[in-house]
Amino acid sequence: MAVAFDEMRAANGQVRTAYLVLSDWLKRVPPDVLDYRRREAETIFRRMGITFAVYGETDATERLIPFDIIPRILTAKEWAFLARGLTQRVKALNAYIHDVYTKREILRAGKVPEDLVYQNPVFRPEMNGKPVPHNSYLQIAGIDVVRTGEDQFYVLEDNTRVPSGVSYMLENREIMLRLFPELFARHAVAPVENYTDDLLATLKSVAPLNAPGDPTVVLLTPGIFNSAYFEHSFLADKMGVELVEGRDLFVKSNVVYMRTTEGPKRVDVIYRRVDDDFLDPLFFRPDSVLGVPGLMSAYHAGQVTIANAVGTGVADDKAVYSYMPEIIKFYLGEEPILSNVPTWRCREPEHLKEVLARLPELVVKEVHGSGGYGMLVGPAADKKTIELFRAKLMREPEGFIAQPTLSLSTCPTFVKNGVAPRHVDLRPFVLNGRDRVRIMPGGLTRVALNEGSLVVNSSQGGGTKDTWVLDR
């Protein structure tokens, strides 16, 4: 694997301009002070209850996501490039989802295979031909981006269902402002605290046409035992909207109401953090107690907006991802601004043959996998694991894609032995409203804390950083 691009230092060892102040600061601050600040941040996170659980583990103890106190820095120019590419991508994704459930022109044109849609387990035939307010399907997207060089950025994954992590982005900034005000004072850092205002504006913008001038928005959560409950509560509080569970809502005459102490109140927009399967027991899983009976009837009648729309998962599996360059060209008539990672579709015999021949050097992922699970990192795997994946690929090739092992960029990170480079990725959060696209400058930087590791997911031992976009 090639030498990783160091975001702070050039190949000749010189510190890049954006990091000059931070580099000087790191030289002057003793390691014990950094360690004290790190422990202080951990205490604050624990006191605030910013934790997560890993499903399927026998130990259900809530964990803290490790927080690295050294920020990642992007220049205004780098961010402007990323923002253009993210805007383009989300517009194309929304157009694709709309087309898949209506005219299906991209399928008739042969640009995307029909079975990738019709046999996709998250394709929702219940949405076929059904109107969605303003043809807006994708209001909140989390687009995972990695960097491999000075001007080389790749999209690694599109998250179009219920992308999470934005609360960590906001809390990371709050912690940094509290612990390192002197460092902030020496940088012109673009703010992120307006995210929840922009989120609320985006949600209100896609309310049904018959909604009042100030639509009522609620955030629907599965409940306190969900691993992301902190984020649900955090976002509802910051937006000033009600946090509700399915039992708090009911449907009458195709209109959704919220139970309140003052009687029923009409709901116009539901920001749902509940998966499709559990939204309405009359349409999907009849055993669901998390959803609202009749919700889909109200949705189809155009009386409520669900964000993100039901069925958006057809756009975020890893096989569809491989067609994104064609999807962007088909709907927008433009060349992609942000590149895809080269991808082999194991469902295609020639691709499978090449993947099997190069298994020890590739990353293999489940088409519907997430969280860093169900994947093979060839260069880091032992022979037994590689052979197990070989058998999986031969048995079910359509369930996997493969990609080259990218040399993800590194950023300075505070670890046990001091400050050292660690691999990072970035999840910017893109808000797609009826009126415009809004993107907070930065996003959630995830960092692989283990030396040499490329897996940044918190469930796999990764941590997070504050992401600074310089205003100038």
pLDDT tens by residue, 435-460: 899 999 999 999 998 888 877 876 66
For strands 269-272 and 305-307, give the pairing: parallel
SS (H, E, C) the chain: CCCCCECCECCCCCECHHHHHHHHHHHHCCHHHHHHHHHHHHHHHHHHCCEECCCCCCCCCCEECCEEEEEEEECHHHHHHHHHHHHHHHHHHHHHHHHHCCCCHHHHCCCCCHHHHHCCCCCCHHHCCCCCHHHCCCCEEEEEEEEEECCEEEEEEEECCCCCCHHHHHHHHHHHHHHCHHHHHCCCECCCCCHHHHHHHHHHHCCCCCCCCCCCEEEECCCCCCCCHHHHHHHHHHHCCEEECHHHEEEECCEEEECCCCCCEECCEEEECCCHHHCCCCCCCCCCCCCCCCHHHHHHCCCCEEECCCCHHHHCCHHHHCCHHHHHHHHHCCCCCCEECCCEECCCHHHHHHHHHCHHHEEEEECCCCCCCCEEEHHHCCHHHHHHHHHHHHHCHHHEEEEECCCCCEEEEEECCEEEEEEEEEECEEEECCCCEEECCCCEEEECCCCCCCCCCHHHCCEEEEEEEECC
pLDDT in tens, 349-388: 999 999 999 999 999 999 876 655 678 988 888 999 999 9
3-state secondary structure of 233: helix
3-state secondary structure of 103: coil
Average pLDDT over residues 400-429: 93
Geometric angle at alpha carbon 138, from 72 and 203, rounded to 5°: 85
pLDDT in tens, 298-315: 999 999 999 999 999 999
Distance CA 200, CA 265 (A): 18
| Per-residue pLDDT at 1 exceeds 80 | no
Which pLDDT score is estimated for 368? 79
**% of the chain at pLDDT higher than 70:** 95
Which pLDDT score is estimated for 65? 83
Question: CATH for 344-404, among 3.10.450.50, 3.30.1490.270, 3.30.70.141, 3.30.360.10?
Answer: 3.30.1490.270
Beta bridge partners, 362, equal 404
- The end-to-end CA distance of the chain, in Å, is 34
The two structure tokens encoding residue 189: 């850092």
pLDDT in tens, 231-264: 999 999 999 999 999 999 999 999 999 999 999 9
> Which range among 31-40, 74-83, 187-196, 458-467 shows the weakest confidence by mean pLDDT?
458-467
Distance CA 138, CA 108 (A): 23
Annotate 368-433 with DSSP letters as a single string.
T--TT-SEEEGGG--HHHHHHHHHHHHH-GGGEEEEE-----EEEEEETTEEEEEEEEEE-EEEE-
Average pLDDT over residues 128-146: 95
**Contact assessment for residue 305 and residue 207, using Cβ atoms and an 8 Å cutoff:** yes
The two structure tokens encoding residue 199: 């989120």
Q: According to CATH, where is 3.30.1490.270 located in the chain?
A: 344-404
Alpha carbon of residue 265 to chain centroid: 32
The two structure tokens encoding residue 147: 């960097």
Average pLDDT over residues 150-167: 93
The identity of residue 441, as a single letter, is: P
Average pLDDT over residues 128-150: 95
pLDDT in tens, 255-281: 999 999 999 999 999 999 999 999 999
Alpha carbon of residue 337 to chain centroid: 19
pLDDT in tens, 20-74: 999 999 999 999 999 999 999 999 888 877 765 554 554 555 677 889 999 999 9
Which pLDDT score is estimated for 55? 47
List of residues 6+ apart from 107 with CB closer than 8 A: 100, 114, 117
